[in-house]
Amino acid sequence: MNSNTIFLLLLLAIGLSFWAQFKVKGTFKRYSKVPSTYGLTGHDAARRMLDANGLYDVPIEPVRGSLTDHYDPTKRVVRLSEPVYFENSISAVAVACHEVGHAIQHKESYSMLVLRHKMFPIVNLTSRISPFLILAGFLFGLFNLAGIGVAFFSLAVLFQLVTLPVEFDATNRARRGMLSMGLVSQNEEQQVGKVLNAAALTYVAAALISLLELFRFVLILLESRNQN
């Protein structure tokens, strides 16, 4: 596979990423208009699921924005965007329970989540440095420097790949928990799945883009060294 082929695949992956973002926003908006059968808000569903798993001390906080929901492992808090926190909808319940899935992972020391947390400080540093090293290495013919930049970038790619099982596992925990606890009805399972699957697709697209970009850098680096 040459660099031109990888570049074309990269363009397709970027297209997939835009489509995935469009899909997740559209799916969330669609099912945010569908009230949940049991009248639960995102906050209600998250609180019940946290308490059912013994996480009574984990607070839930509203944050501004749309799709800004996340679990903060450093402060052990679930943060839900205002539409999710306050509203009663399929989307709100699905997203809220997904974030609780991360809190449960934290409690149980889920291996991939632990690995991701250990990697974060390193990747946070190397991902900032790598673009400058790669650019400077190619501009000035310092291919060892570019190689270090590519190696640093590969850590960011690995971080993206580790994120995938973390997100999929949180989604699976959310779906099982919602059904077993009666937070959603059997008839709503498919709708909940559509919301969560759309969100998961964005992580897949991001990982694919990063992986193809890494391959492209490696091929360019090898071609440049061979020419010199």
* 31-58 burial: b if 16+ Cβ within 10 Å, else e: bbeeebbeebbbbbbbbbbbeebebeeb
Catalytic position from the list 61, 87, 99, 188 = 99
pLDDT, residue 12, reads: 83
- Per-residue pLDDT reduced to its tens digit, 28-49: 999 999 999 999 999 999 999 9
pLDDT, residue 59, reads: 98
pLDDT, residue 3, reads: 64
Q: How many CB atoms lie within 10 A of CB 2?
A: 8
* Three-state DSSP class for residue 53: coil
- Per-residue pLDDT reduced to its tens digit, 131-167: 999 999 888 888 899 999 999 999 999 999 999 999 9
Name the band, by pLDDT with cuts 50, 70 and 90, for residue 11.
confident
The structure tokens listed for 100 are 């609780």
- Per-residue pLDDT reduced to its tens digit, 111-127: 999 999 999 999 999 99
99 is catalytic: yes
Percent of the chain with pLDDT over 90: 74
